[in-house]
Each structure stands twice: as structure tokens, then as C-alpha cells.
Chains A and B, each alone.
Chain A
Amino acid sequence: MAGRKLLLENVHIPGIETYDVYRKNGGYASVEKALKKMTPEEVVEEVKKSGLRGRGGAGFPTGMKWSFLAKPEGVPRYLVCNADESEPGTFKDRYLMEKIPHLLIEGMITSSYALGANVSYIYIRGEFMYILHILEKAIAEARANGMLGKNIMGSGYDLELVVAPGGGAYICGEETALLESLEGKRGNPRMKPPFPAVKGLWGCPTVVNNVETIAAVVPIVNHGGEDYAKIGIERSTGTKLISASGNLVRPGVYEIEMGVSVEEFIYGDDYCQGIANGKRMKACIPGGSSVPILPAHLVTKTAAGENRLMTYESLADGGFASGSMLGSGGFIVFDEDQCIVKNTYTFARFYAHESCGQCSPCREGTGWMEKVLHRLDHGHGTIEDISLLEEINKKIEGNTICPLGDAAAWPVAAAIRHFREEFEWHVTHAAEAQTRNYGLIQPRVEEIKTL
């Protein structure tokens, strides 16, 4: 059973990207319900009851984030949607916005009403310019039908919605960097506190939420927070969009009920249908490139031998020693012929490229990691390089303004933790490592295919 779908249920209906079809299929019911029958506080209360946690990666409870929003008299408040989706392995927001744009617009209206915002922004990564046009079209349709502008549905509530693009910078997915960028500046993260809830866009109280988080407000308001919280396990409630990529039979975007087992997600008929080309799984990164990589034996089972589930808690079971994180839901699967050293190098290069350069530990450290991993990958590394990487890691982690430093350090640390032998093999068998991959386990030559 594929389970309940709350966001993508109607995604395959022809024409669902248009206002008319979307409305006919129950769209904008949450706006009607919230604006006509609920106070803003009641909407916030439902979101709290739902247990919804931020879907961008951090997993912070949305209702609590909303309740932190400062409300000084005479100062505008803003809701900003983070559509900067740029965590490697993550492409769910793009899918949602492209296929069913009105769901985001609806969520923006209902959420803006709850927060008391009269102008809200959607900040979208520059590479998604075609989606910016899709969203602007949807906004124009919503306005033409009285869902935006003055006195929406006769409620007296006014809202304008604006889409703004970035220009190709991963760091702008960090909420304070995003706000800087939205103000037309370089995306350098701000020191916190003050948090955006107090001083955000143009110094005004601001809530920044991920696309999927805002979309989830729609079913929460429609069916009630308690109903939403019935799906899932523990503090992982509701459904989650998972972006599945890598060596899978059927990669793509899936809406899952929290609590589906990892094994079913990878191998089940309703989901990814197993590893491509009949190969075996070597490793998996379950929550986007920033979270720890897990070797195959820790992907479907925890270290204690229990079934690993697709929830915040279960994926983190074992801490960083034997667990990982749900993160953004960017689920990357590696088959037995993939090289962990090379993959770690591409991620290190990514973070070095995307570091904003503001904090020395991150600016210098990510560059060092890229260089050291480059020489390990290219067969001229040393055994000391492996401990050098660990040392650099410790010097970045926790020493930067924003989490990009941690995000760069963790994947390298985890790769070495679980695949140290493979890193060592790249040094001791440097020439051989240029002709073939290490393989699944301790290599036995007859089993390993040459490149």
C-alpha cells in the first residue's frame, strides 16, 4: 500500500496546474475555511497540533516557529517561502511547484493569514526561472479569482504575493542568507540572534518556511491538525516528500507516510523498486548531501538490528556513530560499483564552491578538504591525509555563523567513519584505484568489475 497522499494526491489530474481545475478538485478550501471561519490564532493552533516540522531539512516544529513571530504595532510582518531548493539530492519542491503550483499559492495565503502578513514572498533559485513563470501565472489566476489582492473572499484580509529569483548560490537556502539575497545583496548569512522572527526582511519580523512546509498547511487546515498527526510515528507526523536519486530502478519524487520502512521505500513496488541493473546497494545518503552517509548494513536496519523507518527519529537512531538524518528527504542510493572517495570529493568540491567566504574556518576548511580529497581520489594521497581530513573537520564544525560549515564537514567525517578501508585502499593501491572501484566489501578480485 502506498499510503495516504496529502500533497500530491491530485498531481496527475490533467490541467491541475490551472486555477479552474485545481479549484474544482477542492483547491482553495483551506483559504475559504481559514478566512471565513477561523481566527489567525486558530490556524496557528491547528499547525501546532499537527506536529508539522520544517520540511527544508532542519525539522524544527513549524507551529512553534510561527509562535515566535514578533508582532509589534505598526510594523509589517512577512512570510517568505524558501524555494531555493539546492541541497544536492533534493528536487521535491521543484516537482510540487511545477506540477501543482496552486497548492503552494493556497498554502501561502492560508499561512500569511495566520501570521498576519499582507505581503509575502517566494524566493526561488535562479535556475528554476521557468517555475518562477509558472508561479507568476498561478498568482495572476488566483488574483483574477479574488484569492489575492484586497478583501479576499469578502473577509477584509488583504494579501499580495511576489516571486523573486536567486542567481545560483546554495547558501541562499539558509534563511538569513536568503533574506539578504531578497534584499538584493550577496547571500552572506547573518549572525543570530536576532532571529528573523524578530528582525528579518528589511528589519521586520519574518517567518521563513520551506515550500513543502507551507503546502502541508493546506491539508492541516482542511482536515484539522489532529487528523494530520494521526499519520506517522512519534514526533514524525504527516507525510513527507522524498526525492529519490542515484542507482535506483525508479528514481523520482514520492510522497510517503512517515514511518514507512526504509527497506520498503528502496525495494517496494510502490516506491523505488530496488537497485538499478540488478546490482547490490553499497551505501545511502537519506537526507541530502549534508547528512551522514550510511553503509548498506546500516541503511535498512539500525545498529541494534531494528527495522529502520523513514522518520526523523529512526533515521537518526544511533547518532552519528551509526545513524544519519531525514534532513530534506534527498535520498541518494549508491550501487556496489560507486566510489565513495570520489563521491565525497564531489561533495567537498560542492561545499568549497558554495561557501560564501564570510567565516575563515568554512572558507579555508572547505577548500582544504576539496584539495586533500582531490589528491586521494586521483591516487596521490597519503595515509596522513585521512587524519588531516578529520582534523580539518573538527576545526570547521561548530565554528561558523551558519550551518554550511557543519554541512560540509559531516559528510566527509561520515564517509571516513564508515569507509575508512576504502580511503586507505586509495593510498595503498593508488594505481589500481585509478583503474577500478573498491567495490562492495573487502575486494576479492574475481568479483570486481573493471572500469
Chain B
Amino acid sequence: MKISSPEQQDLTPVEFSPEMMTEINQVIGLFPEGKSKSALIRILHIVQTHFGWTSVPAMNKVAEILSIQPIEVYEVATFYTMFHLNPVGNYVFEVCRTGPCMIVGSDDIIAYIEQKLNIKVGGTTSDGMFTLKTAECLGGCGYGPVMQCKYKFHEHLTTEKVDEIIEAYRTASISK
């Protein structure tokens, strides 16, 4: 995945909250002295959980914490597809479309979400609430069609179930 160009994103340095730093330091502490780079992927998950996506300034901050070059963070973040390198909605639906999900109807689910949210795959709703993406095999093949949102699996999807999920996230968002 491509990192959005400097014109498209704010490169002002960011700071991480003390809570984030505690979490990050715990992860670094899991690995032997001198092997802190092993914590990188998990730190990127922490960053994305806090900011919603993985921005260049956030990656620069991670490089600083791990005492590695920023490029070492970029090359990892661009390799692993879970990291969103561009801003996304509050809730990102990643719908699996590989064989086992396809044969139990994932195409229909994707089409239904597109129609329901009035966006195409890759798009974000105008209120910034939802982004729709497709994913390759999420490892829920026996419970398909499957999608993931904020690390949570939603399985045996039907159009009714999609309605309920969207409604539940909308409600959760309002009550926040």
C-alpha cells in the first residue's frame, strides 16, 4: 500500500500520550536487550488503535522510540496490509472475499454494504463514520461470510446482520 504524499498529509510531529507510552514500553520489555525492533509490528497496532490510522509523523515517532531509521518503519508498515496508511472512517469494515467466503455469498454482502452506505469499496461515508475495504482470507472460513472491524470478527453475515452491525456502531458512536 502506498503512503499518501506529503501534500496529502500533515507532517507536523506528533507526541504519544503517557498511556500509549506505557503500553509501548511494556511491549518493548517483552524482547531481549538490543532486540527491541521485534516490538515494531505490535507498536504499529497500538498506534493505529489510538489514532485510527498509521500516519507518517506517528511512524517517525515510533522510529525515534526504537532508535531505528524511519524507513525501517515505513517498509514494515507498507508490507503488512492491516495498517491503514491513509485516513479512514471511525469503523473500517474489512470483508473477506477469498474462495471459502466467496462461495457462501461474500460478493452479495459487499454489494449490500456498498448500497447501504452509498460508498464503493475503498470509500468512506461522507460523515467519516464508515470505510469499506475487502480483505483476503481472514481465517474464519467455516463461519462465512466474514468481516472484521476493530479486530472484532463478524461472522455468518446476512443483509439483516449487516443492518444490525451498522446500527450498533452508529449507536455506540453517538453515545461516546
Binding site for B on A (CB under 8 A): 85-91, 94, 119, 125-130, 162, 164-170, 181-187, 202, 243-247, 251-253, 285, 289, 330, 332, 334, 338, 342-343, 346-347, 349-350, 353-354, 356
Binding site for A on B (CB under 8 A): 30-32, 35, 37-42, 44-45, 72, 75-77, 79-83, 97-100, 102-104, 135-144, 148, 151-153
- Chain A residues lying within 8 Å of B77, measured Cβ to Cβ, are 167
Do the beta carbons of B83 and A88 come within 8 Å of each other? no
- Beyond contacts A186-B76, A353-B136: 18 other A-B pairs, Cβ-Cβ < 8 A, are A88-B100, A88-B141, A91-B139, A125-B139, A126-B80, A130-B152, A167-B76, A167-B77, A168-B81, A168-B82, A185-B37, A185-B75, A185-B76, A187-B80, A246-B103, A246-B141, A332-B141, A349-B136
- Chain B residues lying within 8 Å of A251, measured Cβ to Cβ, are 141-143
Instruction: Choose among B31, B44, B79, B103 the residue that contacts A186 (Cβ–Cβ < 8 A).
Output: B79
Cα–Cα distance between A186 and B142 once the two chains are bound (Å): 29
If A126-B82, A129-B151, A183-B38 touch, whether A247 touches B103 (CB-CB below 8 Å) is: yes
Instruction: Choose among A89, A127, A167, A334 the residue that contacts B44 (Cβ–Cβ < 8 A).
Output: A167
Do the beta carbons of B139 and A128 come within 8 Å of each other? yes
Q: With both chains docked as a complex, state the minimum distance between the C-beta of A271 and any C-beta of chain B, in angstroms.
A: 13
Do the beta carbons of B99 and A347 come within 8 Å of each other? yes
Do the beta carbons of A247 and B37 come within 8 Å of each other? no
- Chain B residues lying within 8 Å of A332, measured Cβ to Cβ, are 99-100, 103, 141
Tell which of A88, A166, A187, A243 has the most Cβ of chain B within 10 Å: A88
- Chain B residues lying within 8 Å of A162, measured Cβ to Cβ, are 30-31
- Chain B residues lying within 8 Å of A346, measured Cβ to Cβ, are 97-99, 102
- Chain B residues lying within 8 Å of A168, measured Cβ to Cβ, are 80-83, 135
Q: With both chains docked as a complex, state the minimum distance between the C-beta of B91 and any C-beta of chain A, in angstroms.
A: 16
Q: With both chains docked as a complex, state the minimum distance between the C-beta of A221 and any C-beta of chain B, in angstroms.
A: 27
If A119-B32, A343-B102, A349-B136 touch, whether A252 touches B82 (CB-CB below 8 Å) is: no
If A245-B141, A247-B104 touch, whether A289 touches B99 (CB-CB below 8 Å) is: yes
- Chain B residues lying within 8 Å of A125, measured Cβ to Cβ, are 139
Q: With both chains docked as a complex, state the minimum distance between the C-beta of A122 and any C-beta of chain B, in angstroms.
A: 11
Q: Which residue of B lies closest to A244 (CB)?
A: B142
Do the beta carbons of A165 and B45 come within 8 Å of each other? yes
Do the beta carbons of A354 and B37 come within 8 Å of each other? no
Do the beta carbons of B137 and A86 come within 8 Å of each other? yes
Do the beta carbons of A246 and B82 come within 8 Å of each other? no
Do the beta carbons of A184 and B76 come within 8 Å of each other? yes
Q: With both chains docked as a complex, state the minimum distance between the C-beta of B155 and any C-beta of chain A, in angstroms.
A: 10
Do the beta carbons of B136 and A350 come within 8 Å of each other? yes
Q: Which residue of A lies closest to B97 (CB)?
A: A346
Q: List 21 A-B contacts (CB under 8 A).
A: A88-B136, A91-B140, A127-B82, A162-B31, A165-B42, A165-B45, A167-B41, A168-B81, A168-B83, A168-B135, A181-B41, A184-B38, A185-B72, A187-B79, A187-B80, A243-B142, A245-B104, A246-B104, A247-B103, A251-B142, A289-B99
Cα–Cα distance between A350 and B138 once the two chains are bound (Å): 11
Q: Which residue of A lies closest to B79 (CB)?
A: A186
Do the beta carbons of B138 and A129 come within 8 Å of each other? no
Do the beta carbons of B102 and A342 come within 8 Å of each other? yes
Do the beta carbons of B139 and A126 come within 8 Å of each other? no
- Chain A residues lying within 8 Å of B41, measured Cβ to Cβ, are 126, 164-167, 181, 184
Q: With both chains docked as a complex, state the minimum distance between the C-beta of A373 and any C-beta of chain B, in angstroms.
A: 12
Instruction: Choose among B40, B83, B99, B148 the residue that contacts A127 (Cβ–Cβ < 8 A).
Output: B148
Do the beta carbons of B98 and A347 come within 8 Å of each other? yes
Instruction: Choose among A90, A119, A347 the residue that contacts B139 (Cβ–Cβ < 8 A).
Output: A90
Q: With both chains docked as a complex, state the minimum distance between the C-beta of A77 and any C-beta of chain B, in angstroms.
A: 13
Q: With both chains docked as a complex, state the minimum distance between the C-beta of A116 and any C-beta of chain B, in angstroms.
A: 17
Q: With both chains docked as a complex, state the minimum distance between the C-beta of A22 and any C-beta of chain B, in angstroms.
A: 24
- Chain A residues lying within 8 Å of B103, measured Cβ to Cβ, are 246-247, 332, 334, 338, 343
If A127-B139, A130-B151, A183-B38 touch, whether A169 touches B80 (CB-CB below 8 Å) is: yes
Do the beta carbons of A89 and B141 come within 8 Å of each other? yes
If A91-B142, A168-B80 touch, whether A350 touches B137 (CB-CB below 8 Å) is: yes
Q: Which residue of A lies closest to B34 (CB)?
A: A202
Cα–Cα distance between A246 and B32 once the two chains are bound (Å): 43
Q: Which residue of B lies closest to A289 (CB)?
A: B99
If A127-B151, A347-B98 touch, whether A166 touches B30 (CB-CB below 8 Å) is: no
Cα–Cα distance between A67 and B66 once the two chains are bound (Å): 36
Cα–Cα distance between A254 and B140 once the two chains are bound (Å): 14
Cα–Cα distance between A126 and B138 once the two chains are bound (Å): 10
Do the beta carbons of B100 and A167 come within 8 Å of each other? no
Do the beta carbons of A129 and B76 come within 8 Å of each other? no
Do the beta carbons of B142 and A253 come within 8 Å of each other? yes
Cα–Cα distance between A397 and B121 once the two chains are bound (Å): 33
Do the beta carbons of A245 and B151 come within 8 Å of each other? no
- Chain A residues lying within 8 Å of B136, measured Cβ to Cβ, are 88, 170, 349-350, 353-354
- Chain A residues lying within 8 Å of B32, measured Cβ to Cβ, are 119
Cα–Cα distance between A113 and B63 once the two chains are bound (Å): 36
Do the beta carbons of A167 and B142 come within 8 Å of each other? no
